[in-house]
């Protein structure tokens, strides 16, 4: 690190105020934010952030799925950009910090460098990605996925919400159907990408660490499970003669929990959605459908969990004189972030004197897709009680500033001071 910038720190008060100002757009009565992708509120949020980009002297471009990039020129006209970013769309009952923090932290890095008159050799970019949350349109992380070439822009334009309105129509309506091809970055792919984010979990707060050095993100495999038994009257049917789909499903839910515990510390197993048929008080359930979400940090771990799921669910169905169908509906491979970028985050954290720990992300982020085409890492800061995707989501200003300072110095390590 250039000794002339070792003292450099962001303006934490300015960062906080930017977050609060952005949170006014789509503000909810409980103190959260509802700014669904490509809605009128999203347009207003985009317009405000683009205005701030321009006021910071950034050159703005918009790509074919509405991803927005603000570029701060470097002294080397041939250097690839060092980038940061996240998203500004929210859940229907979202908070002020999920995604928004990463974008405002990137903007604060630019503002800090402007205020100190510091020029970098490589250009710097801050991005906000379209439809990360996937609340209105699928797939989730649409913008970064299209940027990485996982999804085609034209295919994404055809995706429709529950009202039959397409992504392409809404991008056109709100004025963010850009003319830049997805993934088209001046001078080629990012030299490095860093994303700052609230943890969205309880680990950093539990260990009283202001910064998490994120080494990767858990892979995810989702399943739709259908247990088939036979409806029968709850009174006349003896227990040993029942084909009770609910009994089988209940034992399967416990099995999912045990499968995840066997893969500690990174195994996760969740049943979050259940449908019972006929759902009548005095009828033995004949069919139960439920979801399973398995996560692990390695594909080998996910493969073990998958095998255990199939074997244990089949055995439990047979015990209850039922049948079971297991259909995999989503697969995200585990993500290991680039060691050089992770090292830069750790080094910046140590140099700044922040207490920290290594963590993995249990959630998906835009950085997971960007990591497929550019060296990537993430920086986590705590959120109160580990709560996110909730209107009461909260974070401490000093923690947000600490994460932003780490972001600043990690980016400077790669972009180099001119």
Domain total of the chain:
2
The answer to whether residues 300 and 357 belong to one domain is no
pLDDT tens digit sequence for 354-367: 999 999 999 999 99
The answer to whether residues 270 and 374 belong to one domain is no
The answer to whether residues 81 and 155 belong to one domain is yes
Check which CATH number belongs to the domain holding 410 and give it: 3.40.630.10
The answer to whether residues 202 and 243 belong to one domain is no
Which of 314, 332, 350 is a domain's end point?
A: 332
Strand partners, 27: 33
The answer to whether residues 200 and 270 belong to one domain is no
Is residue 2 over pLDDT 80?
A: no
Would you state the pLDDT for residue 105? 99
Would you state the pLDDT for residue 4? 74
The answer to whether residues 87 and 19 belong to one domain is yes
3-state secondary structure of 27: strand
Is residue 400 over pLDDT 80?
A: yes
The answer to whether residues 146 and 284 belong to one domain is no
The mean of the pLDDT values for the chain is: 97
State mean pLDDT over 65-82.
Answer: 98
The answer to whether residues 32 and 106 belong to one domain is yes
Give percent above pLDDT 70 in the chain: 99
Is residue 408 over pLDDT 70?
A: yes
Which of 332, 349, 364 is a domain's end point?
A: 332
The answer to whether residues 177 and 198 belong to one domain is yes
pLDDT band at 3 (very low <50, low <70, confident <90, very high): low
The answer to whether residues 300 and 201 belong to one domain is no
Which of 273, 303, 332 is a domain's end point?
A: 332
The answer to whether residues 143 and 80 belong to one domain is yes
Give percent above pLDDT 90 in the chain: 98
Check which CATH number belongs to the domain holding 271 and give it: 3.30.70.360
pLDDT tens digit sequence for 261-303: 999 999 999 999 999 999 999 999 999 999 999 999 999 999 9
pLDDT tens digit sequence for 295-330: 999 999 999 999 999 999 999 999 999 999 999 998
The answer to whether residues 45 and 160 belong to one domain is yes
Domain span at residue 187 reads: 3-217+334-415
pLDDT band at 259 (very low <50, low <70, confident <90, very high): very high
């Amino acid at each position: 690190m250039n000794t002339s910038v070792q003292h450099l720190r962001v303006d934490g008060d300015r960062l906080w105020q930017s977050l609060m100002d952005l949170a006014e757009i789509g503000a909810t009565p409980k103190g959260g934010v509802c700014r669904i992708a490509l809605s009128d509120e999203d347009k207003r949020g985009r317009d405000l952030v683009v205005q701030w980009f321009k006021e910071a002297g950034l050159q703005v471009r918009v790509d074919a799925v509405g991803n927005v990039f603000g570029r701060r020129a470097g002294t080397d006209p041939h250097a690839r950009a060092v980038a940061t970013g996240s998203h500004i769309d929210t859940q229907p009952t979202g908070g002020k910090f999920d995604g928004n923090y990463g974008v405002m932290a990137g903007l604060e890095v630019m503002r800090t460098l402007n205020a100190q008159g510091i020029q970098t050799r490589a250009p710097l970019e801050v991005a906000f990605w379209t439809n990360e949350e996937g609340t209105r349109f699928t797939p989730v992380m649409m913008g970064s996925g299209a940027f990485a070439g996982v999804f085609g822009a034209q295919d994404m334009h055809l995706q429709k919400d529950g009202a039959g309105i397409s992504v392409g129509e809404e991008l056109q309506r709100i004025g963010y159907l850009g003319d830049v091809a997805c993934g088209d970055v001046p001078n080629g792919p990012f030299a490095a990408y860093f994303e700052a984010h609230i943890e969205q979990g309880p680990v950093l707060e539990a260990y009283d660490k202001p910064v998490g050095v994120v080494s990767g993100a858990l892979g995810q495999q989702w399943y739709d499970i259908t247990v088939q038994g036979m409806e029968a009257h709850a009174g006349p049917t003896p227990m040993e003669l029942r084909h009770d789909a609910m009994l089988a499903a209940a034992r399967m839910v416990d099995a999912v929990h045990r499968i995840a515990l066997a893969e500690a510390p990174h195994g996760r197993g969740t049943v979050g959605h259940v449908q019972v048929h006929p759902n009548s008080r005095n009828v033995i359930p004949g069919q139960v459908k439920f979801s399973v979400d398995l996560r692990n940090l390695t594909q080998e771990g996910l493969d073990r969990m998958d095998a255990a799921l199939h074997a244990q669910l089949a055995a439990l169905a047979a015990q209850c004189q039922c049948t079971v169908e297991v259909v995999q509906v989503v697969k995200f491979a585990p993500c290991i972030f680039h060691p050089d970028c992770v090292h830069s985050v750790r080094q910046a954290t140590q140099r700044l004197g922040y207490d920290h720990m290594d963590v993995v992300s249990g959630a998906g982020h835009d950085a997971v897709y960007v990591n497929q085409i550019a060296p990537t890492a993430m920086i986590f800061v705590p959120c109160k009680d580990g709560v996110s995707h909730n209107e009461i989501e909260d974070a401490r200003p000093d923690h947000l500033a600490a994460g932003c300072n780490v972001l600043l110095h990690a980016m400077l390590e790669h972009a180099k001071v001119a």
